[in-house]
Chain A
Amino acid sequence: MSTNEEHRTPVSLSNISENDPRMQPAAKNPDRVERWIALMFLAGFVGFAGFGWAYWVDAAPWILGSTVGFAFSLIGIGVVAWGKYLMPKGPFVEERHDMRSTDEERDALAAAIIQRGGGVIKRRPMLGALLGGGLGVFGIVALFPVLRSLGPLPGKTLTGTDWKKGSYLVLQDGRRVHVNDFKIAEAVTVFPEGFEETPNGQAVDQTIIIRLDTQDFTTKKGRETWGPAGYVAYSKLCSHLGCPVGLYEQQLQMLVCPCHQSMFDVTVGAQPNFGPAPRPLPQLPLFIDKEGYLRSQSDYLEPVGPGYWERS
């Protein structure tokens, strides 16, 4: 074996002499490495001081971050280089020890648990059963108050909205929508009047109206009266995951959900024809009152928003 080979043989750290080549630094020229590291530390020192100054004068965030960032990076590189080039290069070796205990130790543990522990319970089986039963009951009943008090039961919350018979359609700022307000191919988000007062009004009641024509518009059979003067109204909650279906593609006459790109054809009852949405958007039946304001004939006839177990 050559000397070179000898130096590559790993050696145990115990009983190694200070003069062993493996205790020497890895660098060929330690003095030069030391000078570089000193330079890094000095730059880090300056960087940290610069950070202090930057903080003091309330400098821009990028100055704060770059001073402290460069300082940490340079000092870090210096410390790593110190460890890599100037400390004992090794290689050193250490024996692994089996994780496994001896058979006697294993048996002793098993005996302690099973005989000593199990014996205690076996001698007083009734106490063990009662203790276990009692704690079990606590575990089960504790679940109820802990979970149940977190929130109300869903009940009918998900099935209806705040739209009622005769609700005025209002914009987000509360203005009522008049039949002459919008031209063909315009779309706008509306709410039932008084939506600000309801806790979840903004989220649940949001409805998008699109003017498709100047004549009454029928989107589906049985909905002949729902689209007066070409205004059709759909729930703005995507039937996929409840995102607001906020994009109206005029050319295609489609509502597009920006979250997962479901598309709904507004001319045929917001039937989904692209993407993951499984159901059409519910349509709100509208009518125009004597003063020309848009109002709802009733609430939505089906639950709005994404699907869930109780939805029929």
Chain B
Amino acid sequence: MSDVMTKRTAKAALGPYGRVGHVLNELDDRVGSAKARNLLDKIFPDHWSFMLGEIALYSFVIIMVTGTFLTLYYVPSQTVVTYRGSYAPLDGIKVSQAFASSVDLTFGVRGGLLMRQMHHWACDIFLGAMVVHMARVFFTGAFRKPRELNYTIGTTLLTLGIVNGFLGYSLPDDLVSGTGLRIAFSILESIPVVGTYLAFFIFGGNFPGTAVIPRFFILHVLLIPGIITAMVGAHLFLLVRQKHTQFPGPGRTEKNVVGTPMFPVFMGKTTGYLFIVTGVTALLGAFTQINPIWLFGPYDAAKISYAVQPDWYMGFLDGALRIAPSWQTNNFGHTIPWTVTFPALILPGIIFGIAYAWPSLERKFTGDYEMHNLLDRPSEVPVRTAAGAALLSFVVWLFIASSTDVIANFMHLSLNDVLWFMRVTTFIVPVVTYIVTLKICQEMRGADGSGRRKTPSLVTRTAEGEYLSTAAPYHEEMEHHEESAVPVPTFLVQHEVPLSNGVRTVERADVPNRRKAATPLSPAFESGDVLTEAPNHQEMGDYEDGSVLVPTFLVEEDLPDGGAVRTIER
């Protein structure tokens, strides 16, 4: 009986980390969890643009939570019933069960309207955050090797998000969503050879049928969210495995990652971020009406409302359908309505095809097969930035084209003029965007001090009331830190580098998978020179006329043959 333990001895027996330590040890006995400690030490780089993907992730969490709430009340059925629910203006009207239950969960369930609006808002935010996140990844070159696979997963997530968004807003079976379904049916019909079969199989017969809503429901709540969840998991796994990219900066190299540790700093901040996204979505749900199906009324195939538009992420397709010319072909007894097939199917195929293919296209054209963990500033890579901006402007212009009728009404213009304006400018805008972006990037790259922290000026007032502006005293933290940057691919820079500034194209002998890179050399470098140390930024960039500032370096390790450099004449 002497080994009766007091509280004190029991606590001592648990070891220095107490009860929590005990639980952790028990867990480690079984699964070896202590080996995962380095996950807690993982370093995450800090930059505001890295949180765009987090917005997407957290709005997806909100979609899942609010969506689950909605499924508790929604009835996915097109069976026609007489409405006798909580929304009096519709009393006695014949509606589908899907519509009746959607209206009833809005007004008859506590918090129902809030949950429905939050669900819809979270979806719009999800898609928006994905697009902006993708733009960040694109313009900073984060998709480059080794992250092409994760870029592909991300692009697929965007397409799945668009598809699931469409399926979701079709479910309430209101007048606007029914019109969207009618259009979807007609787009399927427009596919050559198999179109009508596909449409009939998906809709279970001719439009509208009674099968489409139950079918879309199970796709919307189970199949596609399941795939999205799995792919988000893969996306995050690859992110952790490959470690996050970082912008160049003090102490940052291709071979390290600088930032704050996963636990507790990053975890704390990101959890707070989840709360903020949730809070903002709730506020949007509380104060801004979205998709008021009770005002649209139930779907009736013979009815239509003015200014019918899909959710924003489908807008570019609607715009393309509006401005497409009325072309169709009729050969050998078969009709192909190109006016539908092209804008609704081929065009998005081209847009997403370019997005999917970009990493391999860039690898191929630049010959850059290197690993990249440091990000580009968009201005450093004018061609990529200009191409991305052009594609983006094209899609945005199509989006604007989806409201030709509203624009015409609002600005008191003829619809005809607006349509023709959009038809023509859709081709001009991307070209202009490309040229302007390219020029801006080139100017920025050459400009002295671009991308550097501005030096503040000190404004003082004299006794006479005169204001004087002088440069603020030098402060170490203001100093611009330039780290050895990554070689910029030839294709992207060579034609902007004037030869007269002592810049020559250097063929890098025996460097695998890299054909050539344009490199500014100070006149001191000659053919056959062996570079033993990387020239620093000052030597490289400061030309007399200050016109060239190419952050390109030759590093000894890039030249396995001992660093022999052969210059070739151009």
Name A's B-contacting residues (CB within 8 A). 2, 4-5, 8-10, 13-14, 55, 58, 61-66, 68-84, 87-88, 90-96, 99, 147-148, 150-154, 157-158, 172, 189, 191, 199-200, 202-204, 206, 236, 240-244, 246-247, 258-262, 272, 274-279, 305-312
Name B's A-contacting residues (CB within 8 A). 41-43, 110-111, 113-114, 117-118, 146, 179, 182-183, 185-187, 189-197, 199-209, 211, 241-243, 250-252, 254-261, 264-269, 271-287, 300-308, 318, 321-328, 330, 333-337, 339-340, 373, 404-405, 415-416, 419, 476-477
Minimum CB distance partner of A305 in chain B = B186
Q: Is the CB of B334 within 8 A of A310?
A: yes
B144 CB to closest chain A CB (Å) equals: 13
Which residue of A2, A68, A96, A272 is within 8 Å of B282 (Cβ)? Answer: A68
Q: Is the CB of B275 within 8 A of A79?
A: yes
Minimum CB distance partner of A44 in chain B = B275
Q: In the complex, A172→B335 CA distance in Å?
A: 32
Which residue of A76, A151, A261 is within 8 Å of B405 (Cβ)? Answer: A261
What residues of B have a CB within 8 angstroms of the CB of A305 in the complex? Answer: 186
Q: Is the CB of A150 within 8 A of B201?
A: yes
B233 CB to closest chain A CB (Å) equals: 19
Which residue of B197, B277, B285, B286 is within 8 Å of A153 (Cβ)? Answer: B197
What residues of B have a CB within 8 angstroms of the CB of A200 in the complex? Answer: 205-209
What residues of B have a CB within 8 angstroms of the CB of A84 in the complex? Answer: 269
What residues of A have a CB within 8 angstroms of the CB of B269 in the complex? Answer: 79-80, 83-84
Minimum CB distance partner of B266 in chain A = A83
What residues of B have a CB within 8 angstroms of the CB of A158 in the complex? Answer: 196, 206
Which residue of B203, B255, B258, B327 is within 8 Å of A278 (Cβ)? Answer: B327
Q: Is the CB of A308 within 8 A of B283?
A: no
B6 CB to closest chain A CB (Å) equals: 32
What residues of A have a CB within 8 angstroms of the CB of B259 in the complex? Answer: 90-92
What residues of A have a CB within 8 angstroms of the CB of B325 in the complex? Answer: 276
Q: In the complex, A76→B58 CA distance in Å?
A: 13
- Given A94-B41, A312-B335, also A189-B302 (CB < 8 A): yes
Which residue of B252, B278, B328 is within 8 Å of A76 (Cβ)? Answer: B278
B440 CB to closest chain A CB (Å) equals: 31
Q: Is the CB of B264 within 8 A of A87?
A: yes
Minimum CB distance partner of A191 in chain B = B302
What residues of B have a CB within 8 angstroms of the CB of A70 in the complex? Answer: 279, 283
Name 27 A/B residue pairs within 8 A (Cβ), A-sorted: A5-B476, A10-B251, A10-B258, A55-B110, A61-B285, A68-B282, A71-B279, A75-B275, A79-B272, A87-B260, A87-B268, A92-B259, A99-B241, A199-B206, A203-B182, A203-B301, A242-B186, A258-B306, A259-B183, A260-B322, A261-B415, A275-B322, A275-B326, A276-B340, A278-B326, A308-B189, A311-B334
- Given A99-B242, A309-B193, also A244-B303 (CB < 8 A): yes
Minimum CB distance partner of B111 in chain A = A64
What residues of B have a CB within 8 angstroms of the CB of A150 in the complex? Answer: 201-202, 204
What residues of A have a CB within 8 angstroms of the CB of B114 in the complex? Answer: 61, 64-65
Q: Is the CB of A73 within 8 A of B279?
A: yes
Q: Is the CB of A8 within 8 A of B110?
A: no
Q: Is the CB of B304 within 8 A of A246?
A: yes
